[in-house]
Amino acid sequence: SQQGEEDPQALSIQEGENATMNCSYKTSINNLQWYRQNSGRGLVHLILIRSNEREKHSGRLRVTLDTSKKSSSLLITASRAADTASYFCAPNSGYSTLTFGKGTMLLVSP
């Protein structure tokens, strides 16, 4: 399995603003997944985008995938304080295991 690298490491915004975080990976993938982890809790699966998809939406989340650049982005629109969490991407090359990077810590201030 390969590890995604999230950028930035930390992001601080005000409620109502949009938050964008990026993920880069090294080898070809079957799909890429984004997860959220609230402090001291397990991960929550947010969205999966397949290698033949370029964009996917889920509520206030928008994920893009550029396989030519081996990168993905997660956009959270109209952020809320409850969105404060760490966000991880997991590029999946078809193996059973997922490897997580250090994530992006998002802080949304009221």
Partner 1 sequence: GAVVSQHPSWVICKSGTSVKIECRSLDFQATTMFWYRQFPKQSLMLMATSNEGSKATYEQGVEKDKFLINHASLTLSTLTVTSAHPEDSSFYICSAARGPSVNQETQYFGPGTRLLVL
**Interface residue list for partner 1 (CB under 8 A):** 30-31, 33, 35, 40-45, 48, 88, 92, 94-103
The nearer residue to partner 1, 76 or 101, going by C-beta atoms, is 101
CB 47 within 8 A of CB 63: yes
Distance of closest approach, residue 60 Cβ to partner 1, in angstroms: 20
Distance of closest approach, residue 101 Cβ to partner 1, in angstroms: 6
The nearer residue to partner 1, 77 or 98, going by C-beta atoms, is 98
